[in-house]
Structure 1
Amino acid sequence: MAAAVLVVLALASPVFAQQVTDYLGVPGPITFNGTDYALSWSSKPTPDYIKQEYLPRGQVPEAYSSMLMVEFLAGDLKPTSMAGAQMDLLNRRKASDPLVSMALTENAQSGEVILDFILSGRDETGGIVVEWNAYRYAQAQTAAGKTGGMLLAISRRAYGEPAARAFLASLQDLKAVQVPALAAAELPKF
């Protein structure tokens, strides 16, 4: 009984909150299109795969409206194959999410690829969530000499039906600004 109480208290106490680790050497803030994004969450699911999320001040991962993501996966990975794997996942999702759509842009000079896509889902209350993402895939090398694939991405969300409708109505204008900004952004150095 005492152990169960300690576990409940530990989960409720901010003193015991999980600390965010900068695995990539990209602590932030990262400035993207005039907004500063601070490191808010990180994960190292395997020794060769690292994920980090960055949010503007005042936003939280559970209910963000704008997020930057930086990921690194060690290995002989090409941007086109990384984008292809994400496109396969999106194509499978189409069976349960009629909003899914995507567009792929390749930069022949750099070998980089940008995949922008939209999807939808439901939050914990059953309300609609609409999400648009632009994923920029590139090859990268860490300071330690590991080579692999890198993702620099922007994600935008809207919650609830009125906000989702307004978000979808303004999506073309958003993409017209955000995709070129992502393509021109300086890639983080690891």
Structure 2
Amino acid sequence: MASTARKVAAVADDRARSEAEAYRQGQDRPLGGYVVVMAVFTSVVTAVAGIAAATRRPLPRLSVKELVLLTVATHKLSRTITKDAVTSPLRVPFATYAGTAGPSEVMEEPRKESSLRHSFGELLTCPFCLDLWIATGFAIGLVFAPRVTRLVTGTFTALAGADFLQLAYAAAQRAAE
């Protein structure tokens, strides 16, 4: 019986490896790392949902205004974590510096020493990739600590607005010169 199980596992492993190679088409895609990243996300969401259900936490109702604030705050926090020069120490284990980008932003490349490092590097250098994690964190915050979460989302929304005003001001200065 154990021998049959080992054979089935070996066939499944070979099949998974060949499918992964066919998918990659010779490119460096860290599929195993992606599986770990998805498993971490799914585990966190499942655990939090279980805790919320066990403690009978009500789900918040989102107004359009609150949804807009969450959207803007998600954008700004994601951009701050993935692109801000000052937050680059958070990304050092997973990324390497590749140059400057927009105002106060840097470009970085994911490290490729391992599939897991590469996957987390992509997550932490891509604001689009991190948006899901940030939005989920805010949703969890609204369930367990709504007042604090609203304060944080309001702060990051104000920061995003201030950024746009800084850029508009700089553009107006250039136009006046």
What TM-score, normalized by structure 1, do the two folds share? 0.26
What TM-score, normalized by structure 2, do the two folds share? 0.27
Which structure: greater helix fraction? 2
Larger Rg: 2
Which structure: greater strand fraction? 1
